[in-house]
Structure 1
Amino acid sequence: MGRTKSELNNQIRSLFEYSMEENVSLCKICKTKLAGQHSTNLRRHIETKHKSFLNHLTPTVEKNEPPKKKIRISYEIDAESFESSLVKIITKDGQPLSQLDSEGFREIVNPIFKALNMNSINSHNVMELVNKRVVEMKKFIKKVVEKKLVSIKIDTATRFDRSILGINLQYLEFKNSTLEIVVKTLGMKTSPYPYTGEQIQDTVLDTLAEYDIRLEQIYCVTSDNGRNMLKAVEIVNQDFYEIFDCIDELPEILFTSSLHSMRCAVYSLQLCVTDIHKDKGIQNNIEDIRKVCELLRNEKYRNMLTECNRAVPPIDIAIRWNSTYVMVKQLLELRDFVEEEKIIVNWDWIQEYVSALEPIWAATMKLQVEQLPLCDLFKIWMELKLNFRESRNGGIKQIIYNSLLNRESLLLSNVTLLSAVYLDPRLNVLLTESQKSSAKANLKSTARQIFNLKQSKPMPTTQVFTEEVSQHCSFIKREPSSDHESSLLSAYLDQIAQETAATATEDDVSDLTKVFVEIDNFENLHRRLPLNEDIFSFYQNIRFISPELFELALVVLGAPATQASVERAFSSLNFVLSESRNNLNNKTVEDLLLVRLNT
């Protein structure tokens, strides 16, 4: 028979000296004094501080106690599914390869290996399964992009002295009766040295070759405004476009070939906010706020805020405006507390700052989280501009409005954006005749390129319309939307539509293809849609009537507005690369990331 609970409590008490005068128990091991001599308190102390002693005192099980009953568990699984689960452990779950060698893990999986008649999988051979998945994924992507015009987005990051170039593929796909933007990771290419423009260009081209993607299949490249990124695209297009030099900042690149460049929309908005923080008065106010937040983070105020379940305001990173906005906004939320503590703060200015930046903050978050077409980027931009135009009062909002105006011309010099806006019946009334002409020329060039990729021969210059097509292409007088939207942009669009509406005249289309006619007369063929209409739904509804235009829209509206998905992919580096997992070679890191990001 083993020891009883009473015997165990007596042995625990033997580890203490009890003083009746003080009513305390002194631990003989660490000399800690405990109130009273209740066995529960004494045992808790031993369990917490001296667990090794408790192991020797634990009551033994009675010798005649029957063993615990084991339960047989059965479930259905095949070798392929089991292999897939093991791959997920080291890719999607981010567990180290050594996890597959741990004793406890082997006790669980070895019976499964035996039942499935499989060879054991461990840290030494699991990468063979990962490589198999990589081959399967590349084969799938090759099939998807074959003879198609697609877009890519690129960005770089640094982790543990490794430079990583992320390359994403983006396209619009009609699936399950809906249109959706699809993003696939083509590669997370690592290098021990920072990427130059030439290295980015070489790596991107090599990566595209892995998927049998030819350069003429790339419609648009979206990146930030980094010099190395712009240099990479410049090298690829050196015979087809010219660069407009600017002293203060590198501008958008205007392409005359099929390969276009698009600056990340989030970056464009960030530049507008950067203009605000160049103002000396604003810098001084932010510095005063930063000092107040530092004061609130000391031990006294931190404890007071914690007791009240209030958030302690963070200290911003000066070069990141979004962190500054969060700091100022959280301080505003603590106004009652700060005023009670008699801390002097310029609340009027803080309110003005938060009110001015809140719309840009919301727009930035939307662009970073959602995959949006370029026309929706322009919609967001115009809504911001009109919002600030109506509410500007000479302060921060005036600075933002002026910055949006200055950068809008640069944004609208990009033919990729113009093409997407032109194909959007909600917004194309905003374009000038010159901008429409640029968009039409690019759309015709893109349509020809789509045709060449599919047919592998030049596009014919003539095509006879069928009766059905002729009926569809009958010209319609464009009318303003009857939808009573409340937004400033909607009212602005209705005003423009009323001022510019005119009856279209029918052209001689005998020498034009159907899609060229539809491009030239798009705004006459389709009335302006309300702003709350979904542009993807519009094209889903006309895909059978105008299949060529639908196919063109898949390319143009599939161009990325941001490279946010690449930035999010970099967060996966934390699962693959760490201080304890930094000895993986580049090929292993790239394959683990490729499987993780495409699963």
Structure 2
Amino acid sequence: MESNEVEIEDAPPGYKSYVWQYFGFLIKKDKDGNRVTDKTKTVCKLCHAVIPYTTSNTSNMNHHLQRHHKNVKTAPEKTSLPKGQLTMKQALTPTLPPSSPRAKQITRLIGEFIADYMAPFNMVENRKFIQMFNVLEPKFKMPCRGHFSEKVIPEIYNETKQSVKEYLKNADCVALTTDSWTSRATQSYITITAEVINEKWERKSFVLQTRELSESHTGGNIAHVLRNALSEWELTRPQTTTACVTDNASNMDIAVRESGLHPHIKCLAHVVNLASKRGLAVSRVARLLGRVRRITTFFHKSTTATAVLTNKQTQLELPRHKLITDVQTRWNSTYDMLARYLEQQAAVSAALSCPGIRRNAREIDTLDNTDISDVEDMVKLLKSLKTATTVVCDEKEPTVSLIMPLKFMIEQSMSPDENDTQTIANMKSAILLDISDRYSGDCNDMLQECTALDPRFRSLSHLNDEQRESVYARIREKPSALHEQRNQTSDIDERTTRASASTSGAAAEQARVMVEAAQGAEQSQE
């Protein structure tokens, strides 16, 4: 067919295939001479070749272009895939695109792993770590450490922070715990945690923040950190009761008071630690500890002496335990040192009596029978303190209801006894004097009420009848007072809403002032 005899009609706009850029339908004349479009034949606009066509089948036209017009750029037809399904090209691609859902999911999980285990960012550059992912998902390309430190972890932090803020916002009472500490690099930090009980009576704990505190650890500087934390985590709402638990340091006492947190509860483990150290500071006790400490240190530093001690333990059929040297800032390590020394006393004496060892231990002053008797009494006395510390530290979810029963137990064990030696009497007196003044005043009342609400201690056996009835009476009064307070708050909020809805401009401001005045009057009546 000659080119000048061919007439072509473009395909309708609804035909989306790329071939229609180069093809159209053939126009011919019927027997009456009228021009008619033949939808069964298409014409190539490049060479005017006529190609048979069936509805929705462009294969013949596509083959013609590939065979006779190789310079023409062809493109595959676009098809819609189900969500998450990859095209053939994507499936055969050597690496997952970073924007693909699977690559994002893997990267997110690696970030969560780093956050959960506080792993270093350079872990993602570790050869074995990358090799492991090459086996698990060969198409995944590990992002650089900067991607995790600058994008992934900050995103996880912001999401988690917002979730925790929403959780705290719905809590009526929040308990904060704060303490300062020093890293191995001698950098000082202060950490703040929060605990709440949700509507299902489940206890939730959150580490809110750890901030560097390079300034002097004065009460004012710590109070500044606490106030910033309260503002940042939106814990300054009037309806939220915020308690705070700290150690017994005076700067913490000042910081909590200046921050407006109430009640302020002192850590029982720290209370026991201070009382124990006061008892261990008695002159006779301190001298005994010094002598025991020199013996344990000698065996730690001498491999020969340690070998002899091990041999003596075997001969005497004693446990092959190493001697313990205490850390003077942790009183329970002193208890462990004394208990272990008593256990290995026979082996220690036998080892020190060996000629080769004795020449190198001339400054070691072994304990005589009187000293051993005093050490045994000291261990027996410190047993109750050790028990209290173990209960608090081993408890998965310790509560303040433990404080008063444990304090009473310690006070009972420290009561004077006519059979006590002078050394033990002095220790008891020092410990009792230190611990008796803890948790006094309003704090004592609150802790007694918490103890009464704990099913384990609700009988309040550590109190006399009058004290016990006083605690029960306060507990009975509080629900009705709390209910009345909430009703008044609800009435005031309702009046505020009605006043705001019925006034505008200056009238609204006047109504607000009137409601606040009514609220102040009701509070003063209470």
Q: 1:173 to 1:445 in 2, by over 3 A?
A: same
Using the alignment, how far apart are the partners of 2:375 and 2:409 within structure 1? Answer: 23
- Equivalent residues in 2 for 1:235-384, closer than 5 Å: 235-237=258-260, 259-297=262-300, 298-306=302-310, 308=314, 310-341=320-351, 344-345=366-367, 346-370=371-395, 371-384=397-410
Q: 1:164 to 1:215 in 2, by over 3 A?
A: farther
On the 8 A contact 1:272/1:400 being kept in 2, the answer is: no
**Aligned letter for 2:234?**
D
Q: 1:452 to 1:277 in 2, by over 3 A?
A: same
**Aligned letter for 2:166?**
K
1:189 maps to 2:211: yes
1:82 maps to 2:106: yes
Using the alignment, how far apart are the partners of 1:145 and 1:455 within structure 2? Answer: 24
**Aligned letter for 1:186?**
L
The Cα shift of 1:262 comes to 0.9
Q: 1:107 to 1:281 in 2, by over 3 A?
A: closer
What is the aligned partner in structure 1 of residue 24 from structure 2?
Answer: none
Q: Secondary structure at the match of 1:92?
A: helix
- Equivalent residues in 2 for 1:32-47, closer than 5 Å: none
What is the aligned partner in structure 2 of residue 417 from structure 1?
Answer: 447
**Aligned letter for 1:135?**
N
On the 8 A contact 2:246/2:265 being kept in 1, the answer is: yes
Using the alignment, how far apart are the partners of 2:271 and 2:392 within structure 1? Answer: 11
What is the aligned partner in structure 2 of residue 221 from structure 1?
Answer: 244
The Cα shift of 1:458 comes to 6.6
Using the alignment, how far apart are the partners of 2:338 and 2:467 within structure 1? Answer: 43
Using the alignment, how far apart are the partners of 1:399 and 1:459 within structure 2? Answer: 60
1:208 maps to 2:230: yes
Q: 1:447 to 1:318 in 2, by over 3 A?
A: farther
The Cα shift of 1:335 comes to 1.8
Number of residue equivalences? 359
Using the alignment, how far apart are the partners of 2:209 and 2:464 within structure 1? Answer: 37
The Cα shift of 1:189 comes to 1.4
On the 8 A contact 2:305/2:351 being kept in 1, the answer is: no
The Cα shift of 1:89 comes to 4.1
What is the aligned partner in structure 1 of residue 435 from structure 2?
Answer: 407
Using the alignment, how far apart are the partners of 1:459 and 1:120 within structure 2? Answer: 58
1:168 maps to 2:193: yes
On the 8 A contact 1:452/1:459 being kept in 2, the answer is: no
Using the alignment, how far apart are the partners of 1:151 and 1:430 within structure 2? Answer: 27
1:155 maps to 2:179: yes
Q: Secondary structure at the match of 2:244?
A: strand
On the 8 A contact 1:153/1:221 being kept in 2, the answer is: yes
The Cα shift of 1:416 comes to 3.1
Using the alignment, how far apart are the partners of 1:210 and 1:263 within structure 2? Answer: 24
Using the alignment, how far apart are the partners of 2:402 and 2:181 within structure 1? Answer: 27
Q: Secondary structure at the match of 1:187?
A: strand
Using the alignment, how far apart are the partners of 2:417 and 2:204 within structure 1? Answer: 38
Match of 2:126 among 86, 102, 109: 102
Q: 1:416 to 1:388 in 2, by over 3 A?
A: same
The Cα shift of 1:218 comes to 3.5
Q: 1:270 to 1:114 in 2, by over 3 A?
A: same
Q: 1:293 to 1:433 in 2, by over 3 A?
A: same
On the 8 A contact 1:422/1:431 being kept in 2, the answer is: no
1:146 maps to 2:179: no
Using the alignment, how far apart are the partners of 1:121 and 1:388 within structure 2? Answer: 62
Using the alignment, how far apart are the partners of 1:133 and 1:260 within structure 2? Answer: 33
**Aligned letter for 2:156?**
R
Q: Secondary structure at the match of 1:313?
A: coil
Q: 1:432 to 1:222 in 2, by over 3 A?
A: farther
On the 8 A contact 1:418/1:436 being kept in 2, the answer is: no
What is the aligned partner in structure 1 of residue 35 from structure 2?
Answer: none
**Aligned letter for 2:299?**
L
Q: Deviations over 1:361-420 (max 9, x none)?
A: 121122123232222221222223334449773346544554336633432422432331
Q: 1:295 to 1:446 in 2, by over 3 A?
A: farther
On the 8 A contact 1:152/1:170 being kept in 2, the answer is: yes
Q: 1:136 to 1:448 in 2, by over 3 A?
A: farther
Q: 1:327 to 1:453 in 2, by over 3 A?
A: farther
- Equivalent residues in 2 for 1:493-512, closer than 5 Å: none
What is the aligned partner in structure 2 of residue 587 from structure 1?
Answer: none
Q: Deviations over 1:11-56 (max 9, x none)?
A: xxxxxxxxxxxxxxxxxxxxxxxxxxxxxxxxxxxxxxxxxxxxxx
Q: 1:182 to 1:276 in 2, by over 3 A?
A: same
Q: 1:451 to 1:181 in 2, by over 3 A?
A: farther
1:427 maps to 2:465: no
On the 8 A contact 2:279/2:428 being kept in 1, the answer is: no
What is the aligned partner in structure 1 of residue 363 from structure 2?
Answer: none
Flag structure 2 segments of 5+ consecutive residues without an equivalent. 1-100, 354-365, 494-526
On the 8 A contact 1:305/1:311 being kept in 2, the answer is: no
Q: 1:219 to 1:105 in 2, by over 3 A?
A: closer
TM-score normalised over the length of structure 1: 0.53
Using the alignment, how far apart are the partners of 2:110 and 2:157 within structure 1? Answer: 15
Using the alignment, how far apart are the partners of 2:164 and 2:483 within structure 1? Answer: 18
The Cα shift of 1:351 comes to 1.2
On the 8 A contact 2:414/2:432 being kept in 1, the answer is: no
The Cα shift of 1:110 comes to 5.6
Bigger-Rg structure (1/2) = 2
The Cα shift of 1:219 comes to 3.3
Flag structure 1 segments of 5+ consecutive residues without an equivalent. 1-76, 238-257, 461-599
Using the alignment, how far apart are the partners of 1:389 and 1:86 within structure 2? Answer: 57
The Cα shift of 1:261 comes to 0.7
What is the root-mean-square deviation in Å for CA atoms of aligned residues? 3.6
1:129 maps to 2:152: yes
Q: Which moves more between the two structures, 315-324 or 427-436? A: 427-436
TM-score normalised over the length of structure 2: 0.59
Using the alignment, how far apart are the partners of 2:428 and 2:227 within structure 1? Answer: 40
Using the alignment, how far apart are the partners of 1:138 and 1:212 within structure 2? Answer: 11
Q: 1:324 to 1:447 in 2, by over 3 A?
A: farther
> Matched residues, percent identical?
17
**Aligned letter for 2:376?**
Q
Using the alignment, how far apart are the partners of 1:259 and 1:204 within structure 2? Answer: 13
**Aligned letter for 2:157?**
V
Using the alignment, how far apart are the partners of 2:202 and 2:231 within structure 1? Answer: 26
Using the alignment, how far apart are the partners of 2:165 and 2:476 within structure 1? Answer: 25
The Cα shift of 1:329 comes to 1.5
Using the alignment, how far apart are the partners of 1:446 and 1:269 within structure 2? Answer: 33
